[in-house]
Amino acid sequence: MAADSEPLLRSLEVAGAARHRLRQRLPVVILRVIGDALAVAGGALLGYQYRFYVSGVPIPGNHIPSFNAYLLAVPVVAALWVLTFAFTGRYRLSLGQTFVDEIMGSAGSVALFVVVALAFEGLYRGFPYSRLVLADAAIAALVLFFVERALIRLLQSSLLRSGVGGSRVLVVGSGLVADLLLGRLRMFPEYGYQVVGRVRVGPEARPSAVDPVLAEYPLDTGLARLVERERVDTVVLALSGAAHEEVLRLAADCLGAGAEVKIVPDVLEIMTSGASTEEVAGLPLVGLQPSRLVGFNLVLKRAFDLVGTLLLAVPALPLVAVCAVAVSVTSPGAPFFRQERLGRDGRIFRICKLRSMVKDAESDAASITTTLGDIRRTPVGRFLRRFSLDELPQLWNVLMGEMSLVGPRPLSVRETQMRAFDRTVPRYRERLRVAPGCSGWAQVNDLRQDSSIEERVFYDLYYVENWSLAFDIKILLLTPWRLLFHRHAY
C-alpha cells in the first residue's frame, strides 16, 4: 500500500513546490499591476494640470474643461493599461532579464495601449477630451512608469539576493558553455538563479573545489532523485555531444520530478548565430543566419555611430580636457596614450586613450595586460580605469571610422601575437568581421581583464551573429550601469 501511494505523494510534493514558488513571486506581480495603475493615473492627472495650468498654450474659448470629466476617465485609462500589459504577457516574471530588457520589451505594449486609448477616445462622444492632455499625460505616465518599475526592480533584486522568489538551479554538463553558464549565474545573484551545484559528465566528470559534492552524483540513475532531494526548480542541460535520446530521457526525468528544464543546444558551441524558425508541411525548421552586418545595415550602423558620437562629444570634450590636465599634473609624460590594436578584418589602427599608467609602462615584455593591484597605474589612472574614463578619446577613433560605438573590444596587436590567439582560440578571427567597439556585449556582462579570452570571444561572436540596431542601443543603455557597478575594471 505504501508503495502504491509513493507516486501520489511525489506528485503532491511537486505540486506543493510549484505553489510555493508561485506564492513567492505573486506579490511582485501584484505590485507591478498596482504600480502601473498608479503611474498611469498619476500621469493622467499631471497631464491635465500641465496642459491647463502650466504649459501656457492658449485654451479654446479661455474655458478650462471640467476636472471631474478627466478624473472619471482615469480608472478607465489605468484599466486599459493593465489589461494591455496583461494581454501582451508583460506581467510574467522572467528571471535573468535586465532592466533595459524589461523597458525595451514593454515598448510594444505601450504602443498597443496608445492605439487602444485613442480608439476609445475617438468612439466616446460624451465629452471632448483634449488631445494635448492625452499627449502630456502619456509622457508623464511613461516617466512615472520607468520610475515605478525601477523601484520595484530594486526591491525584487534585493529579495532575489536573499533567495526569495528565485529559482534553485542545477547545471548538468561540462565544457566551455557549462562553465560559462555556471560562472554567470553565480556572478549575478540578483537575476534570481540560486546555483545548487553542477553535475559533471563525460571525461571531465570529477569532484571540484568549485562545484559541490553533487559532482559525484550518478547521472544515469539518480538525477530525478537529486532534483527532489535538493528541491531544484530548474535544471539546465548543457551536454555537449550527448545523444538526443539521452537528453530527452534526462529532461523527462527532471520534468517528472517537478523541475523546469532548459536545454543549451549543442550547436551553440559551433554557431552562436540567432536561429530563425519556420514551418514546412507541418515540420519545424531551424535556420542559422549569417551576420546581418552587411550592405545597408553597415551604412545604418555607421550613421548611428556618427550621430551618437557627435551627441556624446558635447559632454565628453570638457571631461576629457579635465582628465588630461589631471594626468599631466600628477605624473610625467603625455596625457594621451596610443597603441596598435586589431580592427575590422585584421587591419591595424592606433587607439587613443587617456594615459592611466606610468610613462613607458609597456617596456616590460611580460606585462601585457593590467592586473588587480598593478603598480604601474597612477593614482589618477586608477580612478580613470575604474569608471572607464580613459576610453573617452576613442570617440575620435569612431569618428575616423576605425571603431564603432558598439562592438567587440579591440585587443592589442602585441598581446594577440604573443598569446597566439589565432591558433589557440577557436573562431577568434570571426570577431574581426565587424569594427571594434568602445563598449561591447562582453563588457556589459562584466567580462573584462580577469576573464578568459575564450569567454569574451564567445560573447563577441554572439554579438556579431545577432547584431541589430536595437541590440546596439541596449548595450549603450547598459553601459553606464556597468560603469558604476562592474567588479572587474582595474
Residue 279 located in a structural domain? no
Identify whether the C-beta of residue 405 lies closer than 8 Å to the C-beta of residue 476.
Answer: yes
Check residue 14 and give its pLDDT: 47
CATH value at residue 236: 3.40.50.720
Question: What's the grid cell of residue 119?
Answer: 480608439
Residues 175 and 152 in one domain: no
Residues 212 and 315 in one domain: no
Residues 185 and 261 in one domain: yes
Residues 106 and 46 in one domain: yes
Using a 10 angstrom Cβ sphere, with 0-12 exposed, 13-18 middle and 19 or more buried, the burial of residue 187 is middle
Residue 73 located in a structural domain? yes
Residue 231 located in a structural domain? yes
Check residue 1 and give its pLDDT: 42
Residues 240 and 356 in one domain: no
The tens-digit pLDDT sequence of the chain (490 residues) is 444 444 444 444 444 455 555 565 678 888 999 999 999 999 989 988 888 888 777 777 777 888 888 888 899 999 999 999 999 888 887 776 777 888 888 888 888 888 888 888 777 766 677 778 888 888 899 999 999 998 988 888 777 777 676 788 888 887 777 777 887 787 777 777 888 888 876 554 444 434 454 544 445 557 788 888 888 888 888 877 666 777 788 888 888 888 888 887 665 554 555 566 665 555 566 665 666 777 888 999 999 999 999 999 999 999 999 999 999 988 888 899 888 999 998 899 999 999 888 876 665 544 566 666 667 788 888 888 888 889 999 999 999 999 999 999 998 888 888 778 888 887 888 888 899 999 999 888 888 766 788 888 888 988 988 888 989 999 998 888 777 766 555 4
Q: What share of the chain is helix, strand, coil (3-state, %, to 5)?
A: 60, 10, 30
Residues 443 and 315 in one domain: yes
Last residue of a domain, one of 112, 141, 161: 161
Check residue 207 and give its pLDDT: 42
Residues 348 and 477 in one domain: yes
Check residue 9 and give its pLDDT: 41
Residues 262 and 345 in one domain: no
Separation CA 188–CA 178 (nearest Å)? 16
Residue 290 located in a structural domain? no
Residue 254 located in a structural domain? yes
Last residue of a domain, one of 253, 270, 287: 270
Residues 439 and 305 in one domain: yes
Residue 276 located in a structural domain? no
Residues 221 and 154 in one domain: no
DSSP assignment string, 214-231? GGGS-HHHHHHHHHHHTT
**Residue 257 domain boundaries:** 167-270
Check residue 370 and give its pLDDT: 67
Residue 280 located in a structural domain? no
Last residue of a domain, one of 120, 139, 161: 161
Identify whether the C-beta of residue 143 lies closer than 8 Å to the C-beta of residue 103.
Answer: no
Number of domains in the chain: 3
Residues 111 and 171 in one domain: no
Question: Alpha helices of 66-175 — where are they, by DSSP H?
Answer: 67-87, 99-105, 107-123, 131-161
350 CB-near residues (< 8 Å, 6+ apart)? 338, 339, 340, 341
Check residue 368 and give its pLDDT: 60
Check residue 242 and give its pLDDT: 64
Residues 243 and 310 in one domain: no
Check residue 278 and give its pLDDT: 62
DSSP 483: H
